Amino acid sequence: MGNPRFWLSLLALTAAGELLAAPPATGNRLSFVSCPIVRDTRSVPCWLSEYEGNTYYLTIQSDVSAEVQPPMLGHKVLVEGVVSAAPAVCGGIVLEKVRLSVMPEQDASCNTMLPADEHYTIDFNPRPPGPSGGRLAFDPSPASATAPAPAPPKGPQTFQLYFDFDKSVSFRHPAPLVSILEMAEKLHATRMTVTGVRGAHKLSNGNLLQESAGVGQRRAEEVAGLLLGAGLKIPATTTWIDGTPDADGVDDWQSRRVTVELLP
Amino acid sequence: MRVNISNKGKYWCSSLLLLASLCSDGHAQPASAPADLWWAPGSGQMLPASVDYPDESGRLGLINTSGAIGTSGHPFFEALGTNGRACVTCHQPANAMSLALTTIQQRWQATAGSDPLFAPIDGQNCPDQPRAEAASHSLLLQRGLFRVALPWPPRDSKGNVTTPEFTIEVARDPTRCNRHPVYGIDGTRHEISVYRRPRPAANLRYVSASKFGVTPFIGKTGMLAAVDPETGKPVNMNMMADAREATLKTQAQSAAHSHMEVSKPLTADQLSRIQQFELQLYAAQRWSTLGGALDEAGGPSGLGPQNMANGRDGVLGNNTSNYVFPMEDKWSQLPAGNDAKEKERNGFRASVARGHDVFFYRTFWISDAMHINTVGLGNPIKRTCATCHGMHMTGMDTANGWMDLGTTNRPWALEPPESPWAKELPSLPLFKLTCRADLPPHPFLGRVIYTQDPGRALISGKCEDVGAIVIQQFRGLAARAPYFVNGSAANLRELVDFYDRRFNIRFTEQEKVDLVNFLGVL
């Protein structure tokens, strides 16, 4: 059995995930479902998640306009990203091209909140409450405010709307839906096709994670109904792809989508 | 014209029995409440351009920017229906155009329950109960709640029946209305009765402003926004607790039918006059018993009714260019004061300033709140009161402002403990909602939810909207207790205590006192 103290130490380190976890190779794509973890900091909290003994940095709390929005305690999160060589943030390995999707079912085990720790700081100054020199979350950026008007659209115009896992229309969609309405007016669209897709993910552990059957239809019908309900008065064809989906582990989040095509 | 301090206004003071001290000195403190501030329908009184009413922490100020108006024949003030009520019945000037519980109780005493305020249609727990008995009006008399009967299943904007995402059962029916053979869910009328407070019919230029974040799609859910039937444009859906009415006119039409029992729809002229009146009326605390004048020259620009009348509407306050309630640090560095009175005033004002800072800067973990933790910020978020209460000058949400903070949903809704020895029994109904298994569950409450009032979900039919209530404005609070949609906070301290429990904020006693003082001067 060897030295029992060695084995006890090994057991303790293993439990802490500090020995057996091989550091991930830079550039590796990861796709996993795990509990999110909140770590408080002096400014805003940061969000982490653990997978196969490693801790990954996901994002920080910022604003509704953030490109990557934090997940939710009480739910697992589907994480996709590419391992980065960047210095760790908040104690987590940084993932590039990170995509997060809150899993819809509740999971009470996802309840870890870590206190602020002086070892972990983040290079972010949150917008303070009240008047300041910061940028309003909903304001157009200076670049977009001065950008030249786009050329008048010609030919069919296609839009992709992406969804959280097993979810339909949410807070993510008012802006793209408004864009579709505006384009339909500019294009003098005469027809619209709306195609909903049931997505899937090839996880890093080799498992295939599929969305629920019927979600493609639900998404397509909801999106079409919303556009028509908002005043789009053109014939709409609604289709869906709700079969057994496959996935290759590369940007699988794009499989959870609705495609809207406007035809002049 | 500021009636209580001007010569022109003296007739008003006498007609309303305002105290002599109030009429002779605009900043004097009323010794006690006037005997009767009740505004009866059809009384024909003049509503001055500016008038003060005593309230729990000083005086409420009401400003009518169009100047004094005669109310005789005005559709807001005349009984238009069959039960003797007018809009003013439930939107009393002395109560910041809402209705305080104390006023309701005084009216019961003064009229032995015969006032139209207690009309069976909604002033009773259920319409067919004995009108003369106080027990029939217990929710109105004890919590200031009116019955709101909503169709079930819900109807869309065109009146078509929709398919909700959940089934609903009555788990508790203390008012004996939701299992009633006529008025119950399975009754001949197919209605659900919930019980809610009336909202203030003042500062509605802010409440109805559809400027920030209003698109054809609701910002927090992506669903279709309600539209103004006259313009076809989307509205902010911020007016009613469940956002079921799109505009002031549709609300007036609906209320005339459901609360005043009018026999035929209001005319276009009546609706326009009501809308015009509501858009020119501003209410805010004008005088604080301990803090003195709230609208004095050089004071904070976020206080007093005149600043409400002058302010910008539809503006996000919790952002990079505006405060919600601007104080400009006017009361943050006051001297101690030269005499006892000045010391007391400055000390109170300093407390108000600290309360503002608690509201605006004191972070805590906001967790499991539907439509705030689900809109991309994460769950939990480390933010402040102003995160949700962000509209400049009112503290409402700026657009599509319904959220579930737990005021009506279990486990957070206030309920008396169930025990064999309990002296208080639950007074509100309890509904069991079961969300469809083929759809995602409510993210925080799962698929089976118990609630006193499903809120927005009774209109949208959405599981995620169960218990979501549109945030109210913060103005004139001292004149219109109790608070929350179900009147569950009897006073401002209970309101603060609710949040403290709900979000485990762990306010210090000083923070609570300061926050209450701040809210009391809005």
- Average pLDDT, rounded, for chain B: 91
Whether B81 has a pLDDT exceeding 90, the answer reads yes
Which of B485, B498, B501, B411 lies closest to B448 in space, CA to CA? Answer: B411
Q: What is the torsional sign of CA B352, B354, B360, B362?
A: negative
pLDDT tier at A129, thresholds 50, 70, 90: low
Q: For B437-444, what is the mean pLDDT?
A: 95
Which one has a higher pLDDT value, A260 or B333?
Answer: A260
How far is residue A67's CA from residue A60's CA, in Å, rounded to a whole number? 11
Burial B415-454 (b: 16+ CB within 10 A, else e): beeeeeeeeeeebbbbbbbebeeebbbbbbbebebbbbbb
**pLDDT number for residue B27:** 39
pLDDT tens per residue, range B456-465: 999 999 999 9
How confident is the model over B101-134, as pLDDT tens digits?
Answer: 999 999 999 999 999 999 999 999 999 999 999 9
* Mean pLDDT, residues A190-201 taken together: 97
Please report residues of B whose CB lies closer than 8 A to that of A230.
216-217, 224
Q: Is B382 in contact with A44 (Cβ distance < 8 A)?
A: yes
The pLDDT of residue A15 is 43
Alpha-carbon dihedral sign for residues B433, B439, B442, B446: positive
- pLDDT exceeds 60 at position B478: yes
State mean pLDDT over B259-283.
97
- Average pLDDT (A11-37) is 74
The answer on pLDDT for A7 being more than 80 is: no
What's the whole-number mean pLDDT along residues B501-518?
Answer: 98
- Asked if residue A1 has pLDDT above 70, the reply is no
User: Confidence class of residue A3 from pLDDT cuts 50, 70 and 90?
Assistant: very low
- B444:A106 CB<8 A: yes
Q: Do A129 and B386 touch (CB under 8 A)?
A: yes
Q: Reply yes or no on whether the pLDDT at A163 is more than 70.
A: yes
Do residues B299 and B74 lie in contact, with contact meaning Cβ atoms separated by under 8 Å? Answer: no
Residue A12: pLDDT over 50: no
Domains of chain A as residue ranges with CATH:
25-114 (2.40.50), 148-263 (3.30.1330.60)
Q: Over range B180-189, report the average pLDDT.
A: 97
Cross-chain residue pair B224–A173, CB shorter than 8 Å: no
- Two tokens at B158? 């065109």
Cis peptide before A142 (omega within 30 of 0): no
CB-based contact, A8 to chain B, within 8 Å: no
At residue B25, does pLDDT exceed 80?
A: no
How buried is A3 (Cβ within 10 angstroms: 0-12 exposed, 13-18 middle, 19+ buried)?
exposed
User: Is residue A13's pLDDT more than 90?
Assistant: no
Residue among A61, A133, A167 whose CB faces B377 most closely = A61
Give the minimum alpha-carbon distance from B392 to chain A in angstroms, rounded to a whole number: 11
Q: Is the pLDDT of residue A132 over 80?
A: no
Binary contact (A127, B320; C-beta < 8 A): yes
Mean pLDDT along residues B47-51: 95
When pLDDT is averaged across residues B37-54 and rounded to a whole number, the result is: 95
Beta strands (DSSP E) in B144-249 are 146-151, 166-172, 191-196
Q: Where are the alpha helices (DSSP H) in B117-247?
A: 120-123, 138-143, 204-207
pLDDT above 70: residue B24: no
State how far residue B347 is from chain A, nearest Cα, in angstroms. Answer: 24
Q: How far is CA B389 from the centre of its chain?
A: 13
Which of chain A's residues have a Cβ under 8 Å away from the Cβ of B224? Answer: 226, 229-230
The proportion of chain A whose per-residue pLDDT surpasses 90, expressed as a percent, equals: 71
Cβ-defined contact of B377 to A74 (cutoff 8 Å): no
**Residue A42: Cβ-neighbour burial (10 angstroms; 0-12, 13-18, 19+):** exposed
Nearest to A173 among B212, B217, B322 (CB): B217
Rounded CA separation B170/A140 (Å): 48
Report the gap between the CA of A81 and the closest CA in chain B (Å). 19
Based on the number of CB atoms within 10 Å of its own CB, is B164 exposed (0-12), middle (13-18) or buried (19 or more)? buried
Task: Tell me the shortest Cα–Cα distance from B442 to chain A, in angstroms.
Answer: 8
Q: Are A234 and A141 in contact (CB under 8 A)?
A: no
Q: Using one digit for the tens of pLDDT, what is the confidence trace for B283-328?
A: 999 999 999 999 999 999 999 999 999 999 988 887 667 899 999 9
B6 pLDDT above the threshold of 50: no
- Mean of pLDDT values over A180-199: 96
Question: Residue B65's closest CA among B396, B394, B305?
Answer: B305
**Do residues B55 and B220 make contact, with C-beta atoms less than 8 angstroms apart?**
no
Q: What's the rounded mean pLDDT across residues B217-238?
A: 95
- Give me the pLDDT at residue A138, please: 44
Q: For residue A113, which residues of chain B lie inside 8 Å, CB to CB?
A: 365, 380
Looking up tokens 């969305």 gives A211
> What is the predicted pLDDT for the residue at A6?
41
The rounded mean pLDDT for chain A is: 86
**How confident is residue A20, by pLDDT bands cut at 50, 70 and 90?**
low
A53 in contact with B, Cβ within 8 Å:
no
A residues 189-248 lying closer than 8 A (beta carbon) to B? 212, 214, 226, 229-231
Taking the CA of residue A169 and the nearest CA in chain B, the distance in Å comes to 6
